[in-house]
Copies of this chain bind each other. A is one copy, B any other.
Amino acid sequence: MADTVVAFLGVGHMGRGMVRSLARQRFQLRVWDRTAAKAAALSDIAEVCATPRAAVAGVPFVMTSLADDHAVREVTFGEDGILDGMAPDAVHLGASTISRKLGQVLDEAHRRRGTHYVGSPVLGRPDAAERGELWILAGGEPDAVLRCRPIFEAIGQGTIATDSAAQAHLVKIIANFMIANTIEMLGEALALGEKGGIAPASLVDMLGRTILGSPVLLGYGARIARGEFEPAGFRLELGFKDVSLALAAGEELRAPLPLASLVHDHMIEAIAHGRGHQDWSALAAVAQAAAGLSVKA
Known contacts: A198-B163, A262-B261, A268-B254. The answer to whether A207 contacts B178 by CB under 8 A is yes
Question: Is residue A250 within 8 Å, beta carbon to beta carbon, of the partner chain?
Answer: yes
Contact of A214 among B179, B214, B287, B292 (CB under 8 A): B214
Known contacts: A193-B174, A211-B124. The answer to whether A250 contacts B262 by CB under 8 A is no
Contacts of A188 in B (CB 8 A): 177, 255-260
Size of chain A's interface in residues, with CB distance under 8 A? 72
Contact of A211 among B123, B162, B265, B273 (CB under 8 A): B123
Question: Is residue A70 within 8 Å, beta carbon to beta carbon, of the partner chain?
Answer: no
Within 8 A of B (CB), among A160-197: 160, 162-164, 166-167, 170-171, 174-175, 177-179, 181-182, 184-185, 188-189, 191-193, 195-197
Return the CB mask of A130-163 against B: 1 if under 8 Å, else 0: 0000010100000000000000000000101011
Known contacts: A189-B174, A196-B249, A261-B265. The answer to whether A290 contacts B256 by CB under 8 A is yes
What is the chain B residue whose CB lies nearest that of A124?
Answer: B211
Q: Please state the number of chain copies in the assembly.
A: 4
In the bound complex, what is the Cα–Cα distance between A216 and B210 (angstroms)? 10
Within 8 A of B (CB), among A99-150: 100, 123-124, 135, 137
Asked whether, in the complex, the Cβ of B211 is within 8 Å of the Cβ of A135, the reply is yes
Asked whether, in the complex, the Cβ of B209 is within 8 Å of the Cβ of A158, the reply is yes
Asked whether, in the complex, the Cβ of B160 is within 8 Å of the Cβ of A197, the reply is no
Contact of A292 among B124, B273, B287 (CB under 8 A): B273
Question: Is residue A215 within 8 Å, beta carbon to beta carbon, of the partner chain?
Answer: yes
Return the CB mask of A13-51 against B: 1 if under 8 Å, else 0: 000000000000000000000000000000000000000
The 10 residue pairs across chains A and B that have the minimum distance between CB atoms: A214-B214, A272-B292, A261-B261, A254-B272, A255-B291, A195-B253, A256-B265, A256-B268, A269-B290, A192-B255
